[in-house]
Structure 1
């Protein structure tokens, strides 16, 4: 099997320019309004609380818009991603906006070595990150290693229930097509396009990904020395996971059009290092 990092990095590297140019990432709004906060961070702002002065790191930060949003809420932020083009874009964008954010190119599993052990008050991970890593246990150990005692993990992610479903070719139904639990072998996809509005065409379309069950995530964090403090499941996601079967609200959150209470679409998890 090809190294998943090489395969996935080629895909993400190629999509950086299209993502930065897409209206979906709202780079223009960040430039025009110094108080603008992106949708992912805005959704969880009541749960984030006051983060002023906290030393924070955003893992798998991509082009850094959520990192900038956290900095605008007062945290002293770093960002880390395995894509060189993404890190270059993120650093240039933060510098242009006048934010003192340091971005680092590295695999997420190397974050403690790159950034320093017990160096952070806050570790933040956003939507669509955990599916790109094969071991949730190693990830949890990385998070715990980065945090100071009493430091906090803040995670909003797609729910493994939703990741296990496929809504494409089943009429009005969604079907249980993918694993719910972490598997040794990845799910392999070869799909063109991307999740933002763009006319760009791509050549690196092969990706490897994994699902991680909610129990697996909580257990991995506990065994890494973390204490769960909050877990909230949501019926909405900030993208249309099932085209034609979801409706968007005024805040950009998508829910099943019929009976949204049937689907756990995303979750917000918080834990502190013991």
Structure 2
């Protein structure tokens, strides 16, 4: 058994339950997607122009969680498969898609698997687009393994598209509100950082009960090099001064579209990035 994986899965099973709450509008406020059949998630909408036309493409959304980004990609016309290691998250994702009932979208498949096993759970070299939303890569211990999985899943000519929290942000201590404090490793480490926290990154109806997690940071250079070593060609790398949650409480200001940027230290550090890479071929 993989202790780190099992512990993180328990945490994400717990998060899925509170993130998908509908009655109060907390968590991910999923009722919005049911009430508005054209609504896109803030994460997908942020990169809409960079993502381009994905209508008709076969897409896999790795680490899809409760499916709000997955549904959004389908609403843009893609044929989407969502993959996640949490059975609770996948049950919530299926319920959201069923209840949202968006006219004209292709059926969405959901597959239970961790990322490393994705080439076994899915058909290799069968996807036009591998998509990963924000806050996903920090749960993976080896960025090289992830890049090889991506390359295996893509068709020749297919592309990877990721928006992620910047490793500079992951290096900061969010508990210090007087200034920016670099506390944690920027580069990938063999051993993870261990956390024990009953709170999530969005407001929830109750504290978490599975509170322990393990995380790994991956520097920008490590991500880029892993993709190049996997045979992909980098076609985009954009750093952003905002992130879609209040990552540093007391030091950020809200922007439209669910984004948060630094206040007194505006522009001092990148907070997120978008990266795209293509598998050579047709």
Which ranges in structure 1 are unaligned for 5 or more consecutive residues? Answer: none
- 1:70-102 per-position Cα deviation (integer Å, ceiling 9, x unaligned): 000000000000000101111121122235100
3-state DSSP of counterpart to 2:237: strand
How far did 1:250 drift? 1.8
Which of 42, 52, 57 is the equivalent residue of 1:39?
42
**1:247 is the counterpart of 2:253:** yes
Q: Where does residue 146 of structure 1 map in the other structure?
A: 153
**1:258 Cα deviation from its structure 2 partner:** 1.4
Does the Cα contact within 8 Å between 2:27 and 2:204 map onto a contact in 1?
Answer: no
| 1:133 maps to which of 136, 140, 161 | 140
C-alpha distance in structure 2 between counterparts of 1:42 and 1:85, whole Å? 26
* CA displacement 1:194-215 (0-9 Å, x = unmatched): 1111131222111000000000
Offset at residue 24 of structure 1 (A):
4.3
Comparing 88-97 and 132-141, the one that deviates more: 88-97
Q: Does 1:174 align with 2:177?
A: no
TM-score (norm 1): 0.97
Q: Which runs of 4+ in 1 moved over 3 A?
A: none
Name which of 204, 229, 233 aligns with 1:223: 229
Alignment gaps of 5+ in structure 2: none
What RMSD in Å do the two structures reach over aligned CA positions?
A: 1.3
CA distance in structure 1 between the partners assigned to 2:248 and 2:120 by the alignment: 39
> 1:1-274 maps to which residues of 2 (within 5 A)?
3-21=3-21, 22-98=25-101, 100-169=107-176, 171-274=177-280
Q: TM-score, normalised by structure 2?
A: 0.94
Name the CA distance, whole Å, in 2 between partners of 1:19 and 1:238.
15
Q: Is the 8 A contact 1:237 1:266 kept in 2?
A: yes
